[in-house]
């Protein structure tokens, strides 16, 4: 079975973080549905050609974040929480917003100006989409 | 039987110009252990002792529950061993070797052997003397893997191989791990291979084990901190920092026991933390060896 995960050697982040991110993406997009069984730690390790301990680390952290549930001897599944995918997408948005605020802060752009810039970006995008239609 | 596939306790052996000193090594069942060390560090000597090919002068060795070297015959049914200096018969074909091994080991898996031939791009009718270095390594590994041994001991299996062949071999090694009762010990000086597939890592240098732990623990504990030190401020000595290199106002500190509060500890003295970087296993290995040598020389 191939999971379709891609581990990048040039990505500076640890492999377990890359695995976590790709699992979260699948859940966020709904490819891995709430409550769905996911590959066992060993299966995924063999598939990705990485060590068992690395996948175990990723699963433990995801369990701590409430994204997946692992039952001793029964394997792992996506947490059966309605709206989990949406919640992960919200978290992703939150992360980007925080990043934008941080960068704006560095450049001395206040909340009012940042709000205006955000609105401009939205307008530009709408205009581009209308052009394509 | 305990839950260790390999256990070395206080193992030592002396040579005129080299000594293996008080080696402790544990490989639990179901794990891949990577043994990393520079050339001449004692990797092969350690492996030859645990295979019963050399007798230790001190200490105890148990492999799959068998004492080595006295019980090596019983142990070897379940161990697959491959090293550089293993010789195949030059005038014979790969198939001849496969039949030979099959006649000795009842657990030989003929279907898996055929699959490996295909995956490794080998032809059974090829004679050994016509094979390239990479093909010889792959043929040797095929003969070992198809026995499906509970323990694989591989001395530098990826040395001198091209990237494609290396990848093929790493894939087969991780595939072994789908069975949690099987274990692998392999030595290498390619830290990237070890970083990718090992559960535990042991660093060896000048006949001594300088560190041995879970791979994730290594990657978690080691960090590089880039610091900006204003004029007139001395860098404080923090526990967990093992090395500092300073040039003018810029300094780089290396932590081997990183803690999240290190940054605030620096900042409270007026030092600015520009960045906290993770380190690759290669960087950790080199820093570890340098530190260990400094300690020995001090």
Residues B252 and B115 in one domain: no
Among candidate residues A36, A61, A78, the one where a domain is terminated: A78
A68-76: which pairs have CB atoms within 8 A and are 24 or more residues apart?
A68/A23, A68/A38, A75/A37, A75/A38, A75/A40, A76/A37, A76/A38, A76/A39, A76/A40, A76/A41
Residue B138 has pLDDT above 90, yes or no: yes
Residues B118 and B240 in one domain: no
Q: What is the pLDDT averaged over residues B88-111? A: 95
Residues A44 and A92 in one domain: no
Distance of alpha carbon B125 from alpha carbon A126, whole angstroms = 66
Residues A21 and A55 in one domain: yes
Residues 6+ apart with CB under 8 A from B280: B191, B195
Residues B167 and B65 in one domain: yes
Cβ contact B278–A53 (<8 Å):
no
Number of CB atoms found within 10 A of residue B39's CB: 7
Is residue A4 a part of any domain in this protein? no
Q: Nearest-CA residue of chain B relative to A42?
A: B178
Residues B71 and B191 in one domain: yes
Residues B210 and B245 in one domain: no
Residue B139 has pLDDT above 90, yes or no: yes
pLDDT at residue B67, as a whole number: 95
Residues B189 and B234 in one domain: no
Residues A73 and A94 in one domain: no
CATH code for the domain in which residue B242 is found:
3.30.70
Residues A23 and A62 in one domain: yes
Is residue A104 a part of any domain in this protein? yes
Cβ contact A53–B178 (<8 Å):
no
Cα-to-chain-centroid distance, residue A4: 15
Per-residue tokens: B52 = 């019963």
Residues B170 and B241 in one domain: no
Residues B246 and B200 in one domain: no
pLDDT at residue A133, as a whole number: 67
Q: Which domain holds residue B148?
A: 4-214
Is residue A5 a part of any domain in this protein? no
Distance of alpha carbon A68 from alpha carbon A66, whole angstroms = 6
Distance of alpha carbon B93 from alpha carbon B124, whole angstroms = 7
What does pTM read for this prediction? 0.84
Each residue of B38-77: pLDDT tens digit?
888 999 999 999 999 999 999 999 999 999 999 999 999 9
Cβ contact B175–A9 (<8 Å):
no
Is residue B287 a part of any domain in this protein? no
Per-residue tokens: B244 = 């500092």
Is residue A60 a part of any domain in this protein? yes
The confidence band for A2, taking pLDDT boundaries of 50, 70 and 90, is: low
The confidence band for B2, taking pLDDT boundaries of 50, 70 and 90, is: low
Cβ contact B177–A45 (<8 Å):
yes
pLDDT at residue A6, as a whole number: 86
Q: What is the pLDDT averaged over residues B14-38? A: 93
Q: Which domain holds residue A72?
A: 15-78
pLDDT at residue B52, as a whole number: 93
HSE-CB of B49 using CA atoms within 13 angstroms: 30
Residue B173 has pLDDT above 60, yes or no: yes
Identify whether the C-beta of residue B162 lies closer than 8 Å to the C-beta of residue B117. no
Cβ contact A16–B216 (<8 Å):
yes
Among B31, B34, B171, B177, most A C-beta atoms within 10 A, so best to mutate, is B177
Q: What is the pLDDT averaged over residues B179-200? A: 90
Instruction: Please give the interface size between A and B, counted as residue pairs whose CB atoms are below 8 Å apart.
Output: 47
Residues B59 and B154 in one domain: yes
Distance of alpha carbon B201 from alpha carbon B218, whole angstroms = 8
CATH code for the domain in which residue A63 is found:
1.10.10.10
Q: Nearest-CA residue of chain B relative to A41?
A: B178
Q: What is the pLDDT averaged over residues B235-245? A: 89
- Among the listed residues A97, A95, A77, the one whose alpha carbon sits nearest the alpha carbon of residue A36: A77
Better pLDDT: B84 or A19: A19
Each residue of A58-87: pLDDT tens digit?
999 999 999 999 988 888 999 998 888 888
3-state DSSP of B50-83: HCCCCCCCEEEEEECCEECCCCHHHHHCCEEEEC
Q: ipTM > 0.85? A: no
Residues A73 and A100 in one domain: no
CA torsion sign for B119, B125, B128, B133 is: negative
Q: What is the pLDDT averaged over residues A5-9? A: 84
Residues B147 and B232 in one domain: no
Distance of alpha carbon B76 from alpha carbon B106, whole angstroms = 13
Residues A27 and A66 in one domain: yes
Among B163, B164, B215, most A C-beta atoms within 10 A, so best to mutate, is B215
> Could you report how far apart the first and last alpha carbons of chain A are, in Å?
40
Is residue B151 a part of any domain in this protein? yes
What is the number of domains present in chain A? 2
Of A12, A43, A53, the CB nearest to B178: A43
The confidence band for B292, taking pLDDT boundaries of 50, 70 and 90, is: confident
Is residue B298 a part of any domain in this protein? no
Residues 6+ apart with CB under 8 A from B65: B1, B2
DSSP H or E segment with residue A55: helix A52-64
What is the number of domains present in chain B? 2
Per-residue tokens: A72 = 């001793």
Residues B116 and B141 in one domain: yes
Q: What is the pLDDT averaged over residues B128-147? A: 94
Q: Which residues of A touch B181 (CB under 8 A)?
A: none
Residues A43 and A95 in one domain: no
The confidence band for B237, taking pLDDT boundaries of 50, 70 and 90, is: confident
């Amino acid at each position: 079975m191939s999971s379709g995960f891609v581990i990048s050697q040039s990505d500076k982040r640890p492999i377990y973080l890359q695995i976590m991110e790709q699992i979260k993406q699948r859940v966020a997009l709904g490819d891995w549905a709430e409550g769905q069984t996911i590959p066992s730690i060993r299966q995924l390790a063999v598939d990705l050609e990485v060590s068992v301990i690395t996948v175990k680390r990723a699963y433990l952290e995801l369990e701590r974040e409430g994204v997946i549930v692992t039952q001793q001897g029964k394997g792992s599944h996506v947490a059966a929480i309605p709206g989990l995918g949406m919640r992960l997408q919200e978290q992703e948005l939150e992360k980007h917003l925080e990043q934008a605020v941080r960068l704006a802060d560095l450049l001395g752009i206040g909340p009012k100006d940042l709000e205006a810039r955000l609105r401009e970006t939205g307008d530009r995008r709408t205009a581009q989409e209308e052009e394509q239609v | 039987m305990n839950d260790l596939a390999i256990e070395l306790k206080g193992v030592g052996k002396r040579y005129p110009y080299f000594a293996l000193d008080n080696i402790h090594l544990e490989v639990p069942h179901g794990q891949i252990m990577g043994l990393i060390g520079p050339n001449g560090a004692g990797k092969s000597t350690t492996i030859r002792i645990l295979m019963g090919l050399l007798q230790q002068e001190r200490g105890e060795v148990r492999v799959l529950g068998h004492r080595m070297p006295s019980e090596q015959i019983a142990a070897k049914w379940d161990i697959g061993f491959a090293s550089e200096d293993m010789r195949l018969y030059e005038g014979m074909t790969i198939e001849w070797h496969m039949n030979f091994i099959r006649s000795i080991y009842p657990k030989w898996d003929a279907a898996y052997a055929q699959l490996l031939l295909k995956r490794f791009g080998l032809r059974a009718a090829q004679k050994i003397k016509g094979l390239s270095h990479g093909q010889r390594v792959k043929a040797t590994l095929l003969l070992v893997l198809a026995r499906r041994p509970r323990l694989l001991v591989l001395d530098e299996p990826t040395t001198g191989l091209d990237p494609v062949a290396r990848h093929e071999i790493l894939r087969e090694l991780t595939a072994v791990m789908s069975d949690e009762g099987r274990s692998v010990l392999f030595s290498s000086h390619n830290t990237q291979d070890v970083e990718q597939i090992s559960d535990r890592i042991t660093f060896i240098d000048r006949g001594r084990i300088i560190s041995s732990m879970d791979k994730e623990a290594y990657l978690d504990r080691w960090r590089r901190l880039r610091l900006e030190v204003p004029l007139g401020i001395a860098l404080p000595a923090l526990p967990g920092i093992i090395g500092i290199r300073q040039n003018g106002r810029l300094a780089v500190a290396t932590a081997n026991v990183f803690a999240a509060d290190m940054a605030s500890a620096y900042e409270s003295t007026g030092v600015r933390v520009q960045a906290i970087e993770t380190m690759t296993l290669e960087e950790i290995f080199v820093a570890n060896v340098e530190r260990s040598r400094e300690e020995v020389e001090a």
